[in-house]
Amino acid sequence: MKFKVLGSGAGIPSRTRNTQSFVLDVVEEINQYFLIDASEALQHRILNTTIRPSKIKHVFITHLHGDHIFGLPGFLSSRAHQGGEGVPLVVYGPPGLKEWVEMTFKVSGSHLNYPIRFVEVFHNGEYDVEGFTVKSYLLDHAVDSFMYVFIEPDKLGALDSGKLKDIGIMPGPVYREIKNSHTFRHGEETYDTADFLSPPVKGRKVAVHGDTRIIDRADYLELLDGSDLIVHEATYLEGEQEKAHQYFHSEINGVLRNLSPISYGQLLFGHISNRYDAEMIQGVEERLGDRAVLAYDYLEITIPRDSR
């Protein structure tokens, strides 16, 4: 599992940062990508990667501000001619997203050659997406803005061949049959398969925020607790907490303090304002040390199992 940054900036693109778009790469797990937000120039960003649009079958939009959605109609249109013909797509997002896309297509005379379905998300929503559980949580922004939490299913533990040999079952194709069963028979006895498996491997959890003020509610922190990767906005890098709150955004040190009571693996800050120059960015990175990483375009983060 990998997390890929296609756009790390806030509001207005710069020469070095496009506005926000992310990809959760679950190709190894389910041969797909999950696209999170669709900023302007998304298509061009994808062209600079190995991502195949036809393998994006689920899109998650955090909120309807332009720097998060202006690339969506173009991506949908291009996907139709990049191996996506006949490949269904599901788009998750706040109320109004479906109407906006449909009106854009109607006015521009655009048509798709694959079925598309829109799912209107809500606070504390839960969705089954290709075996993953995806939860939506309403944040605190000037418009409805959501966090998406992607939870991978637990993986079965390994089969204990020693225990199977002890009861007289030697290695062979039967091992696969046993692992895929709840119980199995050998001789005159019925056995529970769970007794012959190591503990299950915990699924990974990735939480991706839309734009938001800092939230200190207990249910929010509980949902984030145990994440392997948290992606949070940092429109304001340092020392402007009041201004950040005024404009419905977050400041980096406030986020770090807010998340300090919970456990997580990696923390990635994105949605970085283009008013910060390279020297300022470097200074913040040095002060962060190993506590967090500032996103940059085309950054790729590997999310190992048991990274918490």
Is-catalytic flag, 67? yes
Strand intervals (E) in the chain: 2-7, 21-26, 32-36, 56-60, 89-93, 116-120, 125-129, 132-138, 146-151, 183-186, 189-192, 205-208, 227-233, 264-270, 293-294, 300-302
How far is it, in rounded angstroms, from Cα 74 to Cα 61? 15
141 is in an annotated binding site: yes
65 is in an annotated binding site: yes
The side-by-side arrangement of strands in the sheet containing 300-302 is 116-120, 89-93, 56-60, 32-36, 21-26, 2-7, 300-302
How far is it, in rounded angstroms, from Cα 184 to Cα 176? 12
63 is in an annotated binding site: yes
User: How far apart, in Å, are the Cα atoms of 300 and each of 5, 24, 51?
Assistant: 6, 10, 12
Residue in 71, 83, 55 with CA at minimum distance from that of residue 6 = 71
How far is it, in rounded angstroms, from Cα 295 to Cα 301? 10
Q: Which of 67, 144, 228, 297 is catalytic?
A: 67
67 is in an annotated binding site: yes
Which residues neighbour 143 within 8 Å (Cβ) at sequence distance 6 or greater? 63, 64, 65, 94
Count of positions (residues) in the chain: 308
Q: Are 114 and 123 in contact (CB under 8 A)?
A: no
249 is in an annotated binding site: no
Q: Are 23 and 6 in contact (CB under 8 A)?
A: yes
How far is it, in rounded angstroms, from Cα 159 to Cα 199? 10
Task: Find residue 93's DSSP bridge partners.
Answer: 120
How far is it, in rounded angstroms, from Cα 261 to Cα 297? 30
Known binding residues for Zn(2+): 63, 65, 67-68, 141, 211, 271
Active site residues: 67
Known binding residues: 63, 65, 67-68, 141, 211, 271
